[in-house]
Structure 1
Amino acid sequence: MPREIDYEICTRYLRGEASLEEAQAVRAWLADPANELLAHYWMSQQIQEFETVRHDAGHDPHNYSGMWATIAARTQLEETPAASPSRLAGWRRWAAAAAVVGAVASTGWLVHERNQAMEPVTARYVTPYGQTRVVQLPDGSQVTLNSHSTVRYAATADPGRPREVWLDGEAYFSVKHLPDHKPFVVHTSAGLQVEVLGTKFTVYRRHEQARVVLLSGKVQVAFADTTKAKVILKPGELLETTDQNPSKVVHQAVQAATYADWTDGKLVFDATTIADIATRLEDTYGVEVVVASPALRQRKFTGTFPSNNLDLLCENLAATFNLQIARRENQLILSNHPSSHPTP
């Protein structure tokens, strides 16, 4: 069973005090992209502790621009006059670890000039079409990003603020409850934010539509339009709004698990219209789907398919509805087969 990595083990690794087993475990942990954000957070904590020690010793607390510049270049850190050899060796370990996980380039660590205070860094994760990604957040919460989605999260903690993420696309959240009850807030560009204390839910924001589905726990949904009352969701409930009609809020019971099946690598359709299937395929695979007739767009389909097999889904759609599905570069064209009669 892999050894569990925590802040103390990483600190011992930083100081050169870790055992061989611990050092190997830390390096393996850092090699997993899902741990990038937590590694960033622990690095920022170490930097703050290092700066506090230097300040208490009477040294300039912001004279480490060389350290940041060389981190950005993925090289060893330059020696600063006040740093001890053992501390420098630790910083070199963090720089090497950052290079392993690609952290420096992927999250935009800021290079600070002399006499500038360190600013919070926002980590950003993006999934391409056809892929999902699991991101471990510093507080122990976990985000699973659906394809073609982006999540941002502050890599340095602010005691005066809630835990906050910003989402574009679709994600499944498993939020850890903290002893201090600090809220966890998901922001979307739909003027809708979801606040929780500890729960599992999905958030969707695409095509001028926003949707929250609660699987367990309890969430509160607030709106940018403060004239709207906040809505409390119970497990198995959905809340949905659209940009075209923002005053209309749909709040109803649903089969919540089906909205998170994509996290298991599945595409699940339950009496889903071909129009909605076309949208799902565009969001998942980045293809343009053209449906030949309005009547065909309204036909409904039920089935479960692996998300990594678009061909299988197309074969089933074609067989079920006697369709002809043509592929032209990055385009799928769905039309009634010439041998069939048009759908009434």
Structure 2
Amino acid sequence: METGNSGHIENTVNLERFDEGNEDDFVGQMPEESQQALKDRMLTGISSRIREIEKRKSKRRTYFRIAASVALILAFASSFWILAKPDEVSFQTASNETMEVNLPDGSKVILNSNSKLSYAKSEIWGFDRKVTLAGEGYFEIAKDKKEKRFTINEGTLMEVEVLGTEFNFKNQHPVHKVTLIEGSVALGYQGKSGSAKHSMVPGEMVRLDPGKHELHSKIITNPERLLAWKDRKLKLKNESLEEVLAIVKEVYDLRLESESLDQKDQLVSGSIPLTDSADEVIENIAILFNTKLDVEENLIRVL
């Protein structure tokens, strides 16, 4: 019995060893062609898996590149919009106040009282040499290297275009007038037949009648005298009442009942303060010349 049992156990062990050997050497027992086919299928599977993994990585990299590019474009667009957006710069004077304004292009403006000057400027485009004036201002326009025109009140009742010049512009409804000191000025305005142009010459004063759409022009002998408001006083040197009133009426846009006065023999030297009140100025002139003057509805009468 014991001998039989030992033989049975021994046979079982040998069978198990035989089975294990067969299992481990299964590929080795396959025909060479089958082995090569199996290797090829395995390599193909591995390669396919690698390509799939690389494709996923490539998609992720592409996505991140696109996302980064979009973020960069948005950041650039946002920065460009902020820098390109123009900011409005404005200057305002109060009653009996003048102000000197230096513009980005080197031009200079002296604002009369109760006047406002404004313009747009951006970090990218800079100053486009276009301003808006409400009130009165004396302009000294710097010449531009590229000959870009300087424009005031573009597209309004009276538009002024210049290259480099000195002039006085009053845009205070119903008064629209330009006095050219030197250089050249091109005026654009609404005439009876539509848009019209007028080229000014030095010493010329032009006034627009917006109701009749007419432009009135005349030559002034000493146009600089009409800029007395810049110093807030009118300096006199042996001048007659007629000469003084001729200046004052243009400064304050008044009318004279008579352009020819009798008091031509009386000459006066000195200075007259120029305030915002035309009545006050006329009263001082009357005292200075020892005469009687009256202002009613912008009309000066010698009594």
> Is the CA contact (8 Å cut-off) linking 2:130 and 2:154 kept in structure 1?
no
The alignment status of 1:60 with 2:75, answered yes or no, reads yes
1:270 alignment partner in structure 2? 243
Cα shift readout 1:45-77 (whole Å, capped 9, x = no counterpart): xxxxxxxxxx9988834778xxxxxxxxxxxxx
Q: How far off its partner does 1:136 sit?
A: 0.5
> Is the CA contact (8 Å cut-off) linking 1:190 and 1:209 kept in structure 2?
no
Cα shift readout 1:252-293 (whole Å, capped 9, x = no counterpart): 211321222222332478353799489569xxxxxxxxxxxx
Output the amino acid matched with 2:273: P
Q: How far off its partner does 1:153 sit?
A: 1.2
Q: Distance in 1 between matches of 2:262 and 2:100?
A: 32
Change (3 A) 1:276 1:307: closer
Q: Distance in 1 between matches of 2:247 and 2:166?
A: 29
Q: Distance in 1 between matches of 2:276 and 2:161?
A: 35
> Is the CA contact (8 Å cut-off) linking 1:162 and 1:183 kept in structure 2?
no
Query: SS at 1:60's partner residue?
Result: helix
Change (3 A) 1:270 1:205: farther
Identity %: 24
**TM-score (norm. length: structure 2):** 0.56
Out of 152, 176, 180, the residue aligned to residue 214 of structure 1 is 180
Output the amino acid matched with 1:270: E
Number of paired residues? 213
Bigger drift between 186-195 and 144-153 goes to: 186-195
Change (3 A) 1:272 1:158: farther
**TM-score (norm. length: structure 1):** 0.50
The alignment status of 1:164 with 2:137, answered yes or no, reads no
Higher CA-based Rg: 2
Q: How far off its partner does 1:250 sit?
A: 1.2
The alignment status of 1:140 with 2:106, answered yes or no, reads yes
Q: Distance in 1 between matches of 2:124 and 2:151?
A: 14
1:320 alignment partner in structure 2? 289
> Is the CA contact (8 Å cut-off) linking 1:194 and 1:222 kept in structure 2?
yes
> Is the CA contact (8 Å cut-off) linking 1:168 and 1:188 kept in structure 2?
no
Which residues in structure 2 correspond to 1:93-242 (within 5 Å)?
Answer: 117-118=82-83, 119-156=85-122, 162-187=128-153, 191-225=157-191, 227-242=194-209
Q: Distance in 1 between matches of 2:248 and 2:104?
A: 39
Q: How far off its partner does 1:318 sit?
A: 3.4
Output the amino acid matched with 2:143: H
Change (3 A) 1:137 1:319: closer
2:239 alignment partner in structure 1? none
Q: Distance in 1 between matches of 2:128 and 2:195?
A: 22
Query: SS at 1:270's partner residue?
Result: helix
Q: How far off its partner does 1:245 sit?
A: 2.1
> Is the CA contact (8 Å cut-off) linking 1:194 and 1:221 kept in structure 2?
yes
Q: Distance in 1 between matches of 2:257 and 2:218?
A: 28
> Is the CA contact (8 Å cut-off) linking 1:217 and 1:234 kept in structure 2?
yes
Q: Distance in 2 between matches of 1:190 and 1:321?
A: 44
Cα shift readout 1:22-64 (whole Å, capped 9, x = no counterpart): xxxxxxxxxxxxxxxxxxxxxxxxxxxxxxxxx9988834778
The alignment status of 1:260 with 2:227, answered yes or no, reads yes
Cα shift readout 1:77-113 (whole Å, capped 9, x = no counterpart): xxxxxxxxxxxxxxxxxxxxxxxxxxxxxxxxxxxxx
> Is the CA contact (8 Å cut-off) linking 2:92 and 2:115 kept in structure 1?
yes
> Is the CA contact (8 Å cut-off) linking 1:271 and 1:300 kept in structure 2?
no
Q: Distance in 2 between matches of 1:224 and 1:309?
A: 30
Output the amino acid matched with 1:259: L
Which residues in structure 2 correspond to 1:40-59 (within 5 Å)?
Answer: none
Q: How far off its partner does 1:191 sit?
A: 1.0
Change (3 A) 1:57 1:299: farther
Bigger drift between 234-243 and 158-167 goes to: 158-167
Q: Distance in 2 between matches of 1:156 and 1:202?
A: 27
> Is the CA contact (8 Å cut-off) linking 1:121 and 1:155 kept in structure 2?
yes
Q: How far off its partner does 1:240 sit?
A: 1.0
Output the amino acid matched with 2:286: L
Change (3 A) 1:138 1:162: closer
Change (3 A) 1:309 1:126: closer
Q: Distance in 2 between matches of 1:181 and 1:278?
A: 32
Change (3 A) 1:212 1:309: closer
Query: SS at 2:148's partner residue?
Result: coil
Q: Distance in 1 between matches of 2:139 and 2:178?
A: 11
Change (3 A) 1:178 1:56: farther
Change (3 A) 1:59 1:179: same
Query: SS at 2:136's partner residue?
Result: strand
Runs of 4+ in 1 over 6 A off after TM superposition: 55-59, 298-303, 308-313
Change (3 A) 1:159 1:220: farther
Q: Which segments of 5 or more consecutive residues in structure 1 lack a partner in the other structure?
A: 1-54, 65-114, 282-293, 326-334, 337-341
